[in-house]
Each structure stands twice: as C-alpha cells, then as structure tokens.
Amino acid sequence: ERDSRILVLNNSYRATIEITEAASKLSGFLEVPETYKAIPVIRHGKKVQVIKKENQSAIAEEIAKQVSKAQEEKYKSIAIVCKNKQESQTYAKLLEDQMCERGGVAPSLLTGREDAYTGGVVVLPAYLVKGLEFDVVFIADAGSHNYQVNSIDARLLYVSMTRPLHRLYIYYSGELSGLLS
C-alpha cells in the first residue's frame, strides 16, 4: 500500500475578498466542511451590491445602466446570470431593448450549444456558469421565489457568485432569498 493524503487547495485567487466573503456565507447551506472553505487572497474590490427592484423590467433597466458603466470602465467580460433557461430568455429580450435604447449592443444569450465564449456581454442560466469567469457578474433575480433554501439552489447561487473577478451585483424582486438574508 502507498501512503496517500489529501491536499486541499482553498486559496481563492479569482475574486476579491468582498466577493469571496459574500459567497462564503452560503457555505452553511452547502454542507462544506470548514477545511474546504475558500480563503481569499489579499485583493480588495468594491462591496457586493444587493439591490431590490419592483419587477423584471426595473431589474433589466438597472442592469443595462450598470453594464454601460462597466463597459466605460473597460471591463470586457460581463455576465447576467439567471436561474434557468426561461428566465435567461426573458432577460435577454428585456436587456436587448434596454441596451439598444442606450446605443449599446444587445447581449448574447448563451444556451450551452456554443463552442466557446469569446467575451462581451452575455445572458445565461446559472447551470452553465461553472468553469467560466467574468470581470463583472449580475445575478438577475435572487428573490425567494427563485432561490429556495435548499442545497441545489445554494449551489447554483454559490457558483454564480464566485464567477466574477472584480464586481458582483445581486438583484431581486419581492423578498430576498433566505440563502442571502
């Protein structure tokens, strides 16, 4: 028999301390042992924004404004993460209208059939974000009607929250998910 041991690589170099700490709050719902929790490296950024809006249209309008600002600040990869395929299609249409009104380019809708992600602004469901990273991430609706307090929704939200390198915005309508409150 060979001697073996488990080495845990838990230093997080992707996200800022603020993003990593916000996502780590979900670890209680993920049944993750303390030794496996992410430890952020010393890289500070802006505080994670959690913003309540009345409905999907208001959320899309605010995201469109923030996407324009992020692009002005030279961020190249921007994702709007939705709970599922249907919500992604809804937000892609709402954002197309909002962004084109502002003279911008409509976001691309990722469905999982693409060969590669080449940058720009994309709308995609949470189940497709694993393994990707973006400069800025907008979670479109983290309301309690979308993300229930269970391990599956906690994983989807956790993975979505750990995709940004620099900025994370979490929008919701109604009540904020119990996973985040």
Predicted confidence at residue 149, as pLDDT, reads 94
Give me the sheet containing 108-109, strands edge to edge: 49-52, 164-172, 134-139, 77-82, 120-125, 108-109
- Average pLDDT for the chain: 86
Q: What is the longest distance spanned by two Cα atoms in the chain? A: 67
Cα–Cα distance measured from residue 68 to residue 117, given in angstroms and rounded to the nearest whole number = 20
The alpha carbon dihedral of 36, 42, 43, 48 has a sign of: positive
Predicted confidence at residue 112, as pLDDT, reads 85
Tens digits of pLDDT across the chain (181 residues): 677 776 555 555 567 778 877 887 877 777 654 544 555 566 677 899 999 999 999 999 999 999 999 999 999 999 999 999 999 999 999 999 888 887 778 899 998 888 777 778 999 999 999 989 999 999 999 999 999 999 999 999 999 999 999 999 999 999 999 999 8
Predicted confidence at residue 23, as pLDDT, reads 80
SS3 42: coil
Q: What is the pLDDT of residues 81-97, one digit of tens each?
A: 999 999 999 999 999 98
pTM over 0.75: yes
